[in-house]
Structure 1
Amino acid sequence: MKPQLLTIVVPCYNEEDVLPETVRRLSQVLSGLMKEQLISAESRMLFVDDGSRDRTWELIEQFHQTNPYVTGLKLAKNAGHQNALLAGLTAAKTVSDCVISIDADLQDDVDVMREFVIQFLAGYDVVYGVRQSRSADTWLKRTTAQGFYRLMHAMGVNIRYNHADYRLMSKRALEALGRFQEVNLFLRGIVPLIGFPSTEVYYNRHERFAGESKYPLKKMLAFAFEGITSFSVTPIRFVTLTGFAIFALSLLAFVYAIAGKLWGTTVSGWTSLILSIWFIGGVQLLALGLIGEYIGKVYKEVKRRPLYVVEKEMLLTPASTAYRQAAAAVQPAKRQV
């Protein structure tokens, strides 16, 4: 079998501090895989600038001129991590045999990409990168993350435990992914729906090399809520069950009130009444908000607006002979901006 063309897709948002090191390490990985003839010499990296406000795109352009592995895609505005990732996957699938997606912060172990490729060559269409443990996380982050995975599984959503967006996908898996025309995008839940042969590769997650995390607690909670409401109607059913429960409690309260009236033990007061009104009012507002969330998702789907707009692109085709020859001779470790 001839070496397969691999593209590494890297979504970026304000990553100027870490980008030079990311390019260096990923270039070393590509160079090593090429020497082993596991991938084609036409393989490359595709950096997707998700509307960064720093020098991220400027650095990508500079590396494109000096490093034959580097290509780039600039979105017109910040479209969000999932949409930026999808933009890169869509651009890469036309010329690639397989694609690996990874964040730019170097927390995911780039050395296990070799195992990704080996599993792909063994016949797997999707290879998930899975963290071995979360011992390095803070207690809050570890607890909330584990709670999220358990909650998703309890609601019937098939996602890989301790897997983010570090994965390899074959060309036919990417083509199948392209048939999911969802506006409310949650790739961690969509990819398992494809159903092609898949496997897992375990690795240890590192600290961020430089820069700041783009996923504070607020964004993490919003992302989790997006995933839950995009793949499960269980919250709506929970509202229905809550309604039945309150109705049952009201019947019990009615029986208790009648019994108290007959036995002459009723006690006048407004506290229980006010608390009941507040409780029922809160449940009603919660139910309306949850229903509104689902209606809003339907609204977005119906409008069919584009998920992202590409402003600039620097892509290579397999016919780029000059770049292919330069790639064989490049020494990534010495390349710097």
Structure 2
Amino acid sequence: MKPRLYMIIPCYNEEKVLPITSEMFLEELNLLIAKDKISENSRILFVNDGSKDKTWDLIKELSEKDEHFIGICQSRNRGHQNAVLAGMMEAKDVADITISIDCDGQDDIAAMEAMVDRYHEGCEIVYGVRSNRDTDTFFKRFTAQTFYKLLNKLGGEIVYNHADYRLVSARVLKEFANFKEVNLFLRGMIPLVGFKSTSVYYERHERIAGESHYPLSKMLALAFDGITSLSVKPIRLIAGFGLGVSALSFIGIIWAVVATILGRTVAGWSSTVCIVCFMGGIQLICLGVLGEYIGKIYMEVKARPRYIISERTWEKDEKAEKKKCSK
């Protein structure tokens, strides 16, 4: 039996790029159907993440134009990770496999065929991994690679150079639905589910149109979320550093007492200020890291919904069908 595929495509203010990439997604879907690798009932699911432009109107137009296009609209902007989650949870009961991919056309759409092939070979998760970062600036390449290495050293199980381009089976999604975190970092959470997995390598292209929605500030926030969501080692490092500073302070106290007894004490304003500033800075950094973890606990305890769907493209058809039946 051929698997039913749902492409999960988060969209935020993509009115410039959507008319271009939607045709590319449809072409790839039809190609996989023609090769008998997926079911004809496969769909392209756009997730409108509270866009302020005409993105949702375009999605509705596409759904009327071709039955393979469907869409859901979030009640407000919740961020990329929540949009991907909303699409996966919407598809988990109707699809056999899902492939999440960004709308901007940077990820190689043709890699989907290799992902589906790996699924047919028995893999439940297939990660799309960048083969190189030649299109990135030196700064972005350096910071991204440093982040992946740092997070792995801190205990986070993430695939190197993998973002959110991946195939996930319905079996994995149903288990993943039991993960109730409000603070989402999908590329680190999916590996925690387990099951057989592999990687497909591809080259990433320049954005086809529009502007990137991930400036440096958002990338840094995502990186910090990833570290604090997957690892408690920063807290342990703080504890270890505190012990080290305490040991040095104890030695300093002994030295001060001995110097006083020997009568060699000299008033030193500069040394005092340096020590106070150093210790004050360290304490503020440590409090900031602890505060980040406490803030995450606060959000998790509230258990607010991670996404709210305000509209679905197929609901209009269902309402029309109900009216016909009532007549």
In the superposition, the TM-score normalised over structure 1's length comes to 0.91
Q: 1:194 and 1:306 mapped to 2: Cα distance?
A: 21
d(CA) in 1 for partners of 2:133, 2:293: 32
Deviation at 1:261, TM superposition (A): 3.5
Aligned equivalent of 1:60? 59
State the Cα deviation string for residues 27-57 of structure 1 (Å, max 9, x = none): 0001111111111111110000000011100
1:164 counterpart = 2:159:
no
Tell me the residue number matched to 1:222.
Answer: 221
Corresponding position of 1:201: 200
- Partner residue in 2 for 1:328: none
* Residue identity in the other structure for 1:223: L
Query: Which amino acid in the other structure matches residue 23 of structure 1?
Result: S
CA distance in structure 1 between the aligned counterparts of 2:268 and 2:113, rounded to whole angstroms? 72
- Residue 293 of structure 2 corresponds to 294
Aligned residue type for 1:65 = E
TM-score if structure 2 supplies the norm length? 0.94
What do residues 15-37 of structure 1 show as CA deviations (whole Å, max 9, x unaligned)? 11110111110000011111111
Cα distance change on mapping 1:207 and 1:56 into 2, 3 Å:
same
Residues 1:239 and 2:235 are matched in the alignment = no
1:316-335 map, 5 Å: none
SS of equivalent to 1:110: coil
What is the letter of the counterpart of residue 275 of structure 1? C
**Following the alignment from structure 1 to structure 2, what is the Cα–Cα distance between the partners of residues 272 and 81?**
49
> Hey, what does 2:89 align to over in structure 1?
90
Query: Alpha-carbon deviation of 1:257?
Result: 2.5
2:173 paired residue number: 174
1:300 corresponds to which letter in structure 2?
A: M
- Partner Cα distance (2:258, 2:233) in 1: 37
Alpha-carbon distance, 1:255 to partner? 3.0
Superimposed CA distance per residue, residues 159-189 of structure 1 (whole angstroms, 9 cap, x where no aligned partner) = 0000000000011011111111111111111
Report the alpha carbon displacement of residue 288 of structure 1 after superposing the two structures with TM: 1.8
Rounded to whole Å, the distance in 1 between the matches of 2:51 and 2:121 is: 38
Structure-2 residue corresponding to 1:248: 247
Indicate whether 1:279 and 2:254 are aligned.
no
Distance 1:90 1:72 in 2: 13
**Alpha carbon RMSD of aligned pairs, Å?**
1.4
Cα distance, 1:279 vs structure 2: 1.5
Match of 1:335 in 2: none
Shift of 1:258: 3.4
AA at the equivalent of 1:58? D
- Structural mapping, 1:58-137, within 5 Å: 58-137=57-136
Alignment deviations for residues 42-77 of structure 1 (CA, whole Å, 9 cap, x no partner): 111000000001110011011111122110000010
In 1, Cα distance between the equivalents of 2:13 and 2:143?
26
Tell me the residue number matched to 2:141: 142
* Post-superposition offset of 1:315: 4.0
One-letter amino acid matched to 1:11: P
Structure 1 SS opposite 2:110 = helix
How far is the alpha carbon of 1:103 from its aligned partner?
0.4
How many pairs align?
A: 316
Question: Which runs of 5 or more structure 2 residues have no equivalent in the other structure?
Answer: 319-327
Taking the aligned partners of 1:261 and 1:180, their CA distance within structure 2 comes to 60
What pairs up with 1:45-56 in 2 under 5 angstroms?
Answer: 45-56=44-55
Taking the aligned partners of 1:275 and 1:307, their CA distance within structure 2 comes to 46
Matched with 2:211 is 212
Deviation beyond 6 Å, 4+ runs, structure 1:
none
